[in-house]
Amino acid sequence: MPNANTGTVTLEFRDAYGKFIRDEVELRFRNLKLHSFDFLHQAHLDGDRLSLEGIPAFPTGNWNVEIFPKKYRFKSVFISLPSNGESLIQETFFVDPNKVHPLLPSAAEIENGERWKGLWDVLAKSTVKYAQLGDPEKAGLLNLFAKMNDPSSQHVWADVEKIFGVKPARIYAEVKSELWDKVRGLPNRFHEEPDNGSMHKFGGEWTRIAEHASFKTPDPMGNLQLTFANNAQERLAVDADLDDHQGLKHAFDVIKHKFSGDTNPYDIHEVLVKFQNIDPGYNFA
C-alpha cells in the first residue's frame, strides 16, 4: 500500500441481541480518491471489538467499506478517517437466512418447558403437531407465539384455542368468540385495515367476515396482523401473521440491509429481538 498518513479503523459488529458477533468477515476497502489504495482484509471476529491499524487517512481517508460476513447479511458503509485518528464502524447485523440454521426447542422441550406452557396448551388440542413441522414453520410458530403472548399485543394468545395451519410467517387458528370484540375495542393497539384483509385467504370451511375483518398492531416494524373468519357453525378463526408490508422493509433500510421477497421467519426473529425486545426462544448456528 502506498505511503500515506494512517489511522485506525475499529469494528464494533453486534447481532440482534446486542452481542458482539463471532464470524469470519471479508472487508473490502475502496478508497474514494485513490483506487491504488484499495485492499481486502479477512477478519476473524471472536466476540469483541477489532481494531485495524495503518489504514490510509486524511487527506485520502474517505472510504467505502463493503462488509461480507459468513453468517450475516452484507452491508456497505462510508467512513472518513482522520490522520493519526480513529474511525468507528458500529453496526448491527441480522443473520442471512440462507447461511444459518435455527437452533429450535424440541417437541419435548415445548411440552415440558414452563416458558412454552401457553403454546403447548394450544398444540395439545390442535391437529398441527410441532414435531412434524419443518424448521421455517417451527420458527414462524415460535415468532407468533412470542409476539401474541407479549403485552404489546395485549396477550391475545390467551384467546387462541387450537391451530389448524402453520406457515413460515403465519398461523391459522380457531379462537374464542370474544377476541374479535376485544381487538375492536383496542384502537390504540389494533388499527383496522382499510382493505378488510382482502389478501388473506382461508379456504376450507372458513370465510373471511364481511366487515371489520382485519387489524394490525401499530409497531413500525414486525407488526402483528389478525384477520378474522367464521364458518357455518359460527365459530371464529384468525389468520395471524407478522406482516412485511408496514415495517420490515423499513427495518432493513434502518440498519442498511438489502431486503426483497417474502417475509422469512428468521428475519422476523431478528426484527422482534432488535426492535421490540421480544425473544422468540431460539437462535442460530
Q: What pLDDT, in 10s, does the model give residues 214-253? A: 999 999 888 999 999 999 999 999 999 997 544 445 545 4
Q: What band does 256 get if pLDDT is binned at 50, 70 and 90? A: very low
Architecture of the domain delimited by 7-92: Sandwich (2.60)
The pTM for the full model equals: 0.90
**Mean pLDDT lowest for which of 39-48, 183-192, 235-244, 255-264?**
255-264
* Mean pLDDT for the chain overall: 91
pLDDT of the residue at 13:
98
The domain limits of the chain are: 7-92, 102-284
Q: What pLDDT, in 10s, does the model give residues 45-97? A: 999 999 999 999 999 999 999 999 999 999 999 999 999 899 999 999 999 99
Which amino acid appears at position 107 of this protein?
A
Q: What is the DSSP string of 96-110?
A: -TTT--EEPPPHHHH
pLDDT of the residue at 244:
55
pLDDT of the residue at 69:
97
Cβ neighbour number for residue 214 with a 10 Å cutoff: 23
